[in-house]
Amino acid sequence: MKRTTKRRAEKRVSLALQGGGSHGAFTWGVLDEILADGRLDIEAITGTSAGAMNAVVLAQGMLENGRDGARERLENFWFSISDSSALAPPVRSLLDQFFKGWNVDGSPVQVWLDFVTHYASPYEFNPLNINPLREHLLGVVDFEKVRACNEIALFVAATNVNTGHIAIFDRPQLTADHVLASACLPFAFQAVEIDGAPYWDGGYLGNPALFPLFYKTACPDIVIVQVNPIQREGTPRTAREIQNRLNEITFNGALLGELRAIDFVNRLVDSGKLSRDAYMRPFVHRIDGADPLKAFSSASRLSAAWTFLQELRDIGRAAAKSWLTAHYDDIGERGTLDLRMAFTTNGTARRSSP
């Protein structure tokens, strides 16, 4: 039975939600626990791919019925991902191919799809540009209402294919296309065109993008919900292992760069070389799903099995509960993520003055 949220929020945070396919169900669990706990007020959410989907679904639910409404909407959304029976047959077929057939590494369906996506473009094998995620989003999210919701600031990242620059779409302009652009893997789906410009997955340049929180929010506490492992032992040897690890490195690269920049500015502020009046000094925290999610294969990121999504949700709940127990008192006082340990090689930071 679900807990009903009764506590009154005592502290404010902004959330930064990574993308990672169905591993975004871990983030669902984190959000569910934060909402149920009730002590944190969410000022803003920046998200990419599955993180962007979680963000807009949460905002929709908050608008309807506060924290309990957000929890219900998130569950409905992830259940819809697992239940394709309501979709039209062509869409259901594509969903089965892209998601349910990829549950096990080395499966015949996965091998076939690997071959197709590497030697044919989505403009060739998906000429009708069918994207099943659109149906799920529109079935759960009323974007007109989300755009009018002033309670939570939203920032969704995508990659502009023409310029190679990151694009940040904020709440007043959001549509399903903006969220789909944030989740558009170019080997699987045609680029999403917005105002004549093509966009791909935002994870290439910001997974998630943190900088909007520095300029457009007042809250210094940023909680990163991370689903992609930064470190992984062992040398990849098969083509699949190499591609999987390359994807992890690529989709963490921009985040590590931003953490490095935050650490540098924080040290300048702490040393008095930059004014606290002119520069925000962020308190960065992380709820880390990377280690527990290492147990699941990369192919599982495209699994839509309900039992699997529930398992990830429960792992996320446990991680958030543990983090709140350990670090709630730190919110508003200090960051709990060792930034230099997060971005330096082998976890060894070189101590130097700013």
Q: pLDDT tens digits, residue range 200-245?
A: 999 999 999 999 999 899 999 999 999 988 888 889 888 778 877 8
**Mean pLDDT estimate for the chain:** 85
| Token pair 């791919």: residue | 49
Q: pTM of whole model > 0.85?
A: yes
* Residues 280-307: tens digit of each pLDDT: 899 999 999 878 888 877 667 777 888 9
Q: What is the pLDDT of residue 74?
A: 97
Give the pLDDT confidence of 76-119 residue by residue, as tens digits.
999 988 865 333 333 444 444 444 433 445 554 455 456 555 66
- 125 or 171: which leads in pLDDT: 171
Per-residue pLDDT, 84: 54
Query: CA–CA separation, 299 vs 272, rounded Å?
Result: 48
pLDDT of residue 3: 59
pLDDT above 80 (res 264)? yes
* E strand spans, 248-288: 283-288
CB count in 10 Å sphere of residue 120 = 12
* Rounded mean pLDDT, 336-352: 66
pLDDT in tens, 42-67: 999 999 999 999 999 999 999 999 99
| Inter-residue contact 134 to 180 (CB < 8 Å) | yes
Whether residue 275 is predicted with pLDDT greater than 60 in this model: the reply is yes
Is residue 147 within 8 Å of 171, Cβ to Cβ?
yes
Confidence at residue 246, expressed as pLDDT on a 0 to 100 scale: 85
Q: What is the mean pLDDT of residues 249-264?
A: 91
The token duo for 142 is 């009323």
